[in-house]
Chains A and B, each alone.
Chain A
């Protein structure tokens, strides 16, 4: 019997897990995929929003602004990248100025600091590649960029180190309310728990509705993105937003990434298929066109990949972070669309506070607040690097040529808490496979390392778990 079961190991579930691990509670995270960070958490804009977008007084606004404020300290504690590069929300037409000013004022109401309206000369000085049509921009110095996988993985690793269990390939099939607590029927067996935290992303409505009379409905909102080579990485120095409209949300943005790439997207298409993460040619064309409205000379020949993510948009377009009215012990973290990433530390804390009170939890005296990421030899001096290679020659063996990732880092990614077991798991933890050649060079080599470290056959190695095997057999085996 658990005290708390968290459904979902995306940024929301992982943030709750980490905050809850400050207390003494038998906690388990159930994740239907093979690894953390497999849903929207791995396919988003990687932006920590300033917090002027959401309606004043809404849970979204509150969590966003708070999460943004918490992000710097969290990034230091958990050793993931976060850069407050600032953002510009571009207004291209004089008649849209009132809309821009509305957003500015909303930002102030929401508690966002440092907001300023810039005029075209200042915009051009700051960002020479922003369109010459820009008449004004809302400058938000507190906006920033992060690595969503690093953030998600860091939260999960820290939670795990502090005693939270994680079960992967575990899909929640049904939940039954008991006299006290809940019984969860999953693809890996039955779990009993006092409290449930529903952080199931696009499936949060399915999970919620298993238990509650009052139903919620989540529409997957697909966003296509294009990622450009690092050579395009300083095309802009800040996040460039378009003026949003009510129908299409925040619109297509252009942003540098913490790794030095340029990211363009997302589109916003409501779909029914909760697994519909396929990009479309219409989506990609649309995002290129829309991005081109706000930024000049986009070097689209430098595209290295495109992908899509599904935002979990609840019908009321608001975060639902509360104990369900008709289901005591069932806490929703539902409808976590944008600004979900920005809000996750605040959501984690809020839910942990609820649980602390409800379950009368005691502090965990052994709580370790910090966590170190995979050692990056590039950050060492030549001397330190050579000492490292001396101790562990694997750090002298470069596996991913594009990103210069060593065997040592890949082995670390496998051996550490909640280690990688698949190519995508390695990719998200080390960046091997994220460069120009998109894994063309390193895939066979990474497979060899996984096979050796995890004592797996090459035939069982997958791209991302399940049936995503890489190779089918030996030469001539069916001849």
Chain B
């Protein structure tokens, strides 16, 4: 039988939490489609600690965190297909999939949850000049080789990008016997958590060069070195600051992009800042019955927030199916949520006070390092939230919580504005 109530694309942390949540809400036929040989998604290769503080009040490694949800999937007898690739999804929620055993076939769903995660930006997208030798890896690909296959990509390593993946890989490579020469970061601040600077760089005396980038790559067959240069405040290399580093490996941790190949095909309205779908308070996209959560919606830093988001999404999708698919059309009679100034985007972009749960967590990121300022939320003209934050950085997702009861006090509300104010 190839119809399901809810089909979930992706069996990583978002897909797993959404599935469990939907099943617990009362949906019988939930199906997870996963392209890897096992559930768990990217967590399977994130073997470091730091996951689960919010969700489980303990610190777990990635695979352990994933297993907590995989166990629930098994206990709840949620169906899943592994090594199965989704080729296409239509607006009518027909999902075309392919795998070795069953071939190419269609699954019909009443609701679809997009949970495909994200991919890494590659060297090509940065136009880093130089040769194109072997030995250049995106940090995630190197992470897979080291943590799943047990192969060392190289022995003398340079890393571009100080986001968490770059920092984590600096430590991984060092522990497995490589020598990490330098981590270069284009911005004047690191893109990763402070704790990772300490545990991954300081602990191993690996230098971090802020405001630097790679301007040339040497070596024809296998990389032999890179040239780093300092950059100005526009990110342009400064003449005379060039330094050569000999290395046989370059890891790139230069950005994550939600993997929305399939979303494009459905004709979903996409957000040009997040590069993920625009959604409402129920995490529903502009196509009715198609929901999105996790990194495919916007790139997260903490998996705990992915799970939170996905659990709300699972419940929403479940309610949609249980209501006999008669919920009001997606983007009507909605309050617009608007990001202003240094607030780069908000998730969701629309909300309907009748449909939301008691508390809605609105998530956003700021565009630069901001100290000692306030997150302010306005309901039309009236400021209703004014929270001081000692520090906000682009690499750490922020949130504010809106309560349903409060929103009900403003029946004519048209716009919710989220901004940063100095006082």
Contact = CB atoms under 8 A, between A and B. Distances in A.
Contact of A304 (B125, B137, B152, B154): B125
Contact count band on B: 35 or more
A206 interface: no
B211 interface: no
B122 A394 contact: no
Nearest to B149: A444
Nearest to B155: A472
24 contacts: A278-B131, A386-B103, A389-B104, A390-B103, A393-B100, A396-B100, A396-B102, A398-B35, A401-B85, A437-B122, A437-B138, A438-B124, A441-B119, A444-B149, A462-B221, A463-B221, A464-B221, A469-B222, A471-B153, A472-B155, A473-B152, A478-B177, A479-B176, A479-B177
A475 B215 contact: no
Contact of B100 (A397, A401, A470): A397
Contacts of B176: 475-476, 479
B18 to A, nearest CB: 21
Interface string A245-283: 000000000000000000000000000000101111101
B341 interface: no
Interface in B143-192: 144-146, 148-155, 176-177
A353 to B, nearest CB: 37
Interface string A444-479: 100000000000001000111111111111111111
Interface residues of A, number: 55
Contacts of B100: 389, 393-394, 396-397
B119 A303 contact: no
Interface of B: 35, 83, 85, 87, 98-105, 119-120, 122-125, 127, 129-135, 137-138, 140-141, 144-146, 148-155, 176-177, 215-217, 220-222, 237, 248-249, 261
A279 B124 contact: no
Contact of A475 (B87, B146, B249): B146
Given A275-B220, A277-B220, 11 more contacts: A278-B217, A398-B35, A398-B85, A401-B261, A440-B120, A440-B122, A458-B149, A474-B151, A474-B152, A476-B176, A479-B177
Given A304-B122, A438-B123, A440-B120, A473 B151 contact: yes
Nearest to B151: A471
A328 B148 CA distance: 59
Contacts of B152: 471-475, 477
Contact of A382 (B104, B122, B127, B149): B104
Contacts of B154: 471-472
A306 interface: yes
Contacts of B248: 472
A191 interface: no
B98 A396 contact: yes
A306 B98 CA distance: 32
A443 B141 contact: yes
A303 B98 contact: no
A401 B177 contact: no
A440 B222 contact: no
B134 A470 contact: yes
Interface in A61-102: none
A468 B98 contact: no
A437 B119 contact: yes
B193 to A, nearest CB: 23
B83 A397 contact: yes
A131 interface: no
B177 A307 contact: no
Contact of A306 (B83, B99, B124, B133): B124
Contact of B130 (A278, A304, A390, A402): A278
A383 B328 CA distance: 38
A385 B222 contact: no
B59 to A, nearest CB: 23
Closest 10 CB pairs of A and B: A305-B124, A463-B134, A393-B100, A468-B134, A438-B122, A468-B221, A398-B85, A396-B100, A386-B103, A389-B103
Contacts of A390: 103
Nearest to B85: A398
A390 B133 CA distance: 39
A226 interface: yes
Contacts of A385: 103-104
Contacts of A467: 221-222
Contact of B104 (A306, A386, A477): A386
A284 interface: yes
A281 B128 CA distance: 8
A26 interface: no
Contact of B151 (A394, A398, A475): A475
B150 A474 contact: yes
